[in-house]
Amino acid sequence: MWWRGAVIYQVYPRSFYDANQDGIGDLLGIINKLDYIASLGVDAIWISPFFKSPMKDFGYDISDYRDVDPIFGTLADFDELIAQAHVRNIKIMIDQVLSHTSDQHQWFIDSREDKHNSKADWYVWADAKEDGTAPNNWLSIFGGSGWTWEPRRQQYYLHNFLSSQPDLNFHNPDVRQAVLDNVEFWLKRGVDGFRLDAINFCFHDAQLRDNPAKPKELRQSIGFDEKNPYAYQYHYFNNTQDENLSFIEDIRTLLDKYPGSVTLGEISSEDSLKTMAEYTQGDNRLHMGYSFDLLTDDFSALYIKQVVQSLETRVADGWPCWAISNHDVQRVVTRWGKSQNAEHNTDLAKMLFAMISSLRGSVCSYQGEELGLTEADIAFENIQDPYGITFWPQFKGRDGCRTPHPWQHKQVNAGFSEAKPWLPVSKEHVEKSVDLQENQNDSVLNSYRHFNQWRKQHSTLLYGDIEFVDTPEPILAFIREYNDKRLLVCFNFSDQQQAVSFDLLQDDLIAITDHKLASADLIEGRLTLPAFGCFYATL
């Protein structure tokens, strides 16, 4: 099971490398940089959507699930990407956006024409209330009602996201089979797995019951704060329905026909950790799941401990995947470093990757994390994200984490493209370019590479159980155990030196320092951790 303990490197293709010099990254760009990715020591690449799309949500609105959008290349390019990655022993995982399509998908074009065509029941349609308003109170994540009126059918259609992203009706068995057929198309082309976008959104409540209101004091939820009306409801009926479990089992049955292929589900529900546990339970559901619980602003040893322990008490034989950055949230060194004015502190960037890679589970690592990239500041006139345009200026959208990857500090647009990039290159990122960090032994990049290789030598970190140790804030400590081997792991979440004593330090510890991170001193049972320092020791 190659995916257990794996590091999965997320590539956002629009912003990785532009091989045809049109200002947008592409599949040939990923092929061009495969040696770089291999040098990172990661096990797999997750590629964000590259399918045909009108790009209203930059590929998460798909109009053809079985073809590559011309801005990214061709199916032949994708086949070459798989072949070249496999030569380098890198697995390829791709996004599958199953819960909704683009409104330009032929299925929707047919479905909206009338109530009697062959695709009439393939989307979630409902009549208006007597007063002409929407069928219920469900909201869109991107703002406003989750329903849009379609004059051809004289009905509303459901969209949990943009109005250009209509939701499929998974209560229809023909829809479920068509979706599975699309998934199998890529399995036959040799992909090694799928990141399943918003996988708990596939089914809706067939009775279309209203979501209950959420009290004001509880509106600060994972991923959505009180700036977004979406947080005003408990989302009990527009997602995470019991029927979804059966569909997930159908996906697993399909993947079991292709040995070695895996699923990683993105889960955002009222209790995402509970849903993660349910969706990864046993050997007939998802292989892995991840939530937004570590993609928030909360940065403390206690919070990390609570999240992981909460999952561990429920997950049983399931397997988590942890992420602290991706294409949907502010970059982690800014999000977690800003409170201590430490977003440019290289030891923080190194420590955060070591921390997430030392928890029980697999890891998703977003492009640029290996460089310690900060959140880019995008002027309003350059904003592309519809989410940011809607909620500006309280929320600036997701463009700040999606800017082009900096390759060469002296080249135009940091070597990403000779053309004007679809988003501007951050000036701050130029000074963190790959070429500059390649030549610095202690750079974030070289630390990332070294830690990945070092971690692979410790099966305890890859596969072991986890048990937390009581320590004062800001120290996070836990024990990983596997095949009678025990490893003590400690992290300092502070920009100040911290000293800690606990019972374990009375045992015979053998400190490990060849990870090359900022290391602690252990003197007479007292552990002193430098700012954003780490400590590993065998027990």
Q: Would you please indicate which residues are annotated as catalytic (active-site) residues?
A: 197, 266
Strands 193-197 vs 262-267: parallel, antiparallel or unpaired:
parallel
Contact indicator for 319, 262 with CB cutoff of 8 Å = no
Q: What DSSP string runs through 453-502? A: HHHTT-HHHHH-EEEE----TTEEEEEEEETTEEEEEEEE-SSS-EEE--
- Rounded Cα distance between 8 and 192, Å, is 12
3-state SS, residue 158: strand
- Rounded Cα distance between 501 and 534, Å, is 15
Preceding amide of 474 cis, omega within 30: yes
CA-closest candidate to residue 179, choices 294, 284, 101, 287: 101
3-state secondary structure 220-251: CECCECCCCHHHHECCCCCCCCCHHHHHHHHH
Strands 155-158 vs 193-197: parallel, antiparallel or unpaired:
unpaired
- Rounded Cα distance between 155 and 119, Å, is 15
- In 279-337, at which residue ranges do the beta strands (DSSP E only) sit? 288-291, 321-323
Task: At 465, give phi and psi (nearest 5°).
Answer: -70, 165
Angle, vertex CA 302, rays to CA 496 and CA 265, nearest 5 = 115
Q: Which two tokens stand for residue 228?
A: 């977004």
- Rounded Cα distance between 193 and 88, Å, is 17
3-state SS, residue 51: strand
- Rounded Cα distance between 438 and 210, Å, is 55
Q: How many CB atoms lie within 10 A of CB 502?
A: 17
CA distances from 456 to 5, 167, 459 (A): 9, 41, 7
